[in-house]
Amino acid sequence: MDKSKRLFLKSKRSFRRRLPPIGLGDRIDYRNMSLISRFISEQGKILSRRVNRLTLKQQRLITIAIKQARILSSLPFLNNEKQFERTEATPRTTGLRTRKK
């Protein structure tokens, strides 16, 4: 077999299919905080559909439920606790500039 033909052959490795993150009995609702919190990042952002492994319809319902929970103050809009924490202040080492007259 030529090298050019060998590139297009698929590998026959088997892979384990992941289970969907939302089961059949789970109801997507703004009150179901345990379900909603799985689809939010640490910063409070809604994770993408590719990361969540959701269908388009499920992602839309999750997004609507998250937005409703935010409006009703069940969820914060942002989680910026770590934004203002600084471990160590770095001093500026630039030289002093003097004005010439």
State the CATH class of domain 24-81.
Answer: few secondary structures
Spatial separation of the C-alpha atoms in residues 66 and 42, rounded to whole Å: 14
| Per-residue model confidence (pLDDT) at position 66 | 93
| Per-residue model confidence (pLDDT) at position 16 | 72
Give every residue of the chain whose pLDDT is below 70, as ranges: 1-12, 14, 81-97, 101
* pTM of the full structure: 0.61
| Per-residue model confidence (pLDDT) at position 64 | 95
**Structural domain boundaries in the chain:** 24-81
Q: Are the CB atoms for 7 and 51 separated by under 8 Å?
A: no
| Per-residue model confidence (pLDDT) at position 12 | 67
